[in-house]
Amino acid sequence: MPFDMIGNVAIIPVEGSLVHKGGWIGSQSGETSYQGLQAQIATAKRLPEVKGIAFEVDSYGGEVNGGFETAAAIADLSRAKPTIAILTDFAYSAGYLLASQARQIVMPAFGGAGSIGVIMLHADYSEALADAGINVTIIRAGARKADGNPYERLSPALAEKWQAQAEDMRQIFATTVAKGRAGKLTKAQALATEADAFTAKEALSLGLVDAIADPVETFELFIKNINRS
């Protein structure tokens, strides 16, 4: 099996940086791939001996590509079988996106959750290179080729375009979270967080999580309840 099991409960780690591809990338490498998660989720849904799934979450987030598809897979799994996201520490950004699709989210007293937003970075090395006496020549065929490269200033038009793309992603993020947290957190409330990161007490009061509890005790209770049914 592509995951550990205790009784009839599958354990799927969502830990470290979340990346799109790499079916064999696991949390032991400091990364978890969406590709690998999707394979585990599909297997957990298909196998009759899997009666419940615990997602062990400790991630500051990662790539957008693959994230929403994985969230949809967890939502589908949650409709078919009991799921729980147990935060061993933090669930931020894409980490929280995935956790939000479980039936229940439990976090430790000193963990963190949130960051419902999107970030893009652009580094402009043009002045540093000029100061070093380095001239970069970009030969392009097509006016927009090499747009956003780090050797030229970012144009206002491209910055505006990227800002719009980031906002579109944030809207989808909030919509997805609201569906996963139906009745507990609305899209408007998710957007109102402005991508802030919250303590356990704050996250509970906002509806981002369902309970604050010891992760080990929560896991043992989930296993007990699933194996009893």
User: DSSP states of 62-122 as a string?
Assistant: E-STTHHHHHHHHHHHHHHS-EEEEEEEEEETHHHHHHTTSSEEEE-TT-EEE--S-----
Residue 3 · residue 26 · CB < 8 Å: no
Chain Cα centroid distance, residue 53:
17
Whether 205 is catalytic: no
Catalytic residue, candidates 59, 78, 93, 100: 93
Handedness of CA 116, 172, 38, 47 (dihedral sign): positive
User: Catalytic residue numbers?
Assistant: 93
